[in-house]
Structure 1
Amino acid sequence: MPITTIFQLLQLRQVSKRFKKLVAKWGVFLLVKPRKKGDENSEMKKQTHLLFYVLSAYVFLQFLWWGYHLIQLSYELDPQTVNVNRRVWMIVGEGSVFLLILGLGLWQINRAIRRELELSVRQTNFLLSVTHELKTPLAANKLTLQTIQKHQLEEQKKNELISKALDENIRLENLIDNILNASRLESKAIQAVKSEINFLDLAKNICDLLHKRHGEKFISLNCEVNVSIHGDRFMLEAIISNLLENAIKYAGKNSNISLYCLQKNSAFVFGVCDEGPGISVEENEHIFKKFYRVGKEETRSTSGSGLGLFIVKEFVSLQKGHIVYRKNQPKGSIFEVTLPL
């Protein structure tokens, strides 16, 4: 076996072992904050929500009942109409204020419980999907190494298998990077380290890597300007890569995917445009939330962790910029980032 092939195999095994250790140690636990036992059970949370509704209704009914009794008691103790009417209006006025404050408080508590339930569901879906995403490339690499070890394959076939296994490791590395980045963002342990960056060169390098990984050219780079921007290279790479990977995943390689950039006054604008199915209006406001994934969990066919767009939005914010989503015409999606020059 040639020295280069032996080196590739050794490198592949070392990387696989390193990833297994990293996943075992940090994998899916970095993003899930410690919770009480009751909070770990989604069914218990739903029961708590139901109990909250029952108690809220009981409090309102009890208050109305006691208000009615106070008014009746006022008529019995003081038969003078003027005094009774004054007392009744006082009870109604103070009771209305109390009910308003109570209603606002219950509304806020209800919102908090709903958010907690939604986050719990998204976390559960995240753990299920990320476990699959972590196991798949590891299993594929194990099978590849066993095939190379047990069979006398031609050199070309060997190199093809090694290349595929290395691609799986890159996919695994990207997923773990997203998990670690999201964890750092949650703990506020990451800050933008800005320097002068030539955006066009950076974009070309990322597009070339994606073309090499997927085996064909399908991303068009349309930049009206060639300027250097003041930003964090690591964050910009993550932003561009995540947006392009999302477009590839949901729109497909047969779709026209475009990375464009231009200058607007004192701001630099770049975006990713595709001709995929797009995102519904109902889901627009949720797509940048942590763990959120477009579509129904039961019918979803695409892989992913629900962290990509969350990381993109946070990285853009750390560089004093903003990101917007809008529909492409006649179909597809556009994610546009604006950064200060």
Structure 2
Amino acid sequence: MAVNDAERDAMSRALALAAHGPRGLNPQVGAVILSPTGETLSEGWHHGAGTPHAEVDALSKLAPGEAAGATAVVTLEPCNHTGRTGPCSQALIDAGVARVIYALDDPGVASSGGSDRMRAAGLDVVAGLESDAAHTLIADWLSVQRLGRPHVTVKWAQSLDGRAAASDGTSQWITGPVARADVHARRAQADAIVVGTGTVLADDPALTARDGDALLAHQPIPVVIGSRATPADAAVHRHPLAPIFYDTHDLNAVLADLRERGVQRVFVEGGPTLASAFLAAGLADAVLAYIAPVLLGGGRLALADIGVGTIADARRLTVDEWIPLGEDLLAVARVTSESEGS
């Protein structure tokens, strides 16, 4: 891959620009236009759905003909389709750009192919520069493209004997303060936090991400699934973001709607009925199991029926980490597909 220092610096700059863009329906993308001698002519990034893509944003800052013979350095393959905006690959061709360097191939069926179009038009196209950094930047968006829905993490806290609550239904607190702080930090990494109406009625959770009593900078959208009404004075109504309520048991429909809203990472907090429903439907990608060294007995299990009738049908997990949290232990695991387990 023949690239020079100016082009490498431009890609680093493009990645930094991309991070200014919002997470959502579209990927975060940055672009830098270099003159034939390596000076920066313009910069751009994608400002959100319906706005010009990064390449067009950068080109719009140049006078007609100023991009002739230039090099465009972009964090994602220029698109090849017409949606709310036109194809960026054609915009670069029309602007007279001679060379395009990008980090990652576009995974979209409709939007990919920009590199082929540009090569066919005679442009020099180089792919793969800083691909790892670009992948890290938009990993969540790429996951959504691969799955066709948001990435789903199912979390629960349990006693050593697998219970989520005592016989009278009380569950605060099974785990200690270090584990609870870890949960809040992970909530802040999600776009939406999902519970069932049963949890809202039993625990009245705020569904915020906090450091002690202080709200963290990023808050997940609170989502409540179920047909029972949420009381008007429930804590979820005081969340900084307006809660979303779904009067349905169709989890695929819920995830499809959340995707349309730009949600990429979903954090399912409970309770056992909802967690089990996501696992049974094959809609869980990761599991966070917080295990406390206490015994509760009784029948209030952390999970209900997930469709496992025999040991051969067990849902296999790949544990990536075992993390001690005070006296508690966190299992960070991926749900293993049948193809991976076979």
TM-score, scaled to structure 1? 0.23
Bigger strand fraction: 2
TM-score, scaled to structure 2? 0.23
Structure whose CA Rg is larger: 1
Bigger helix fraction: 1
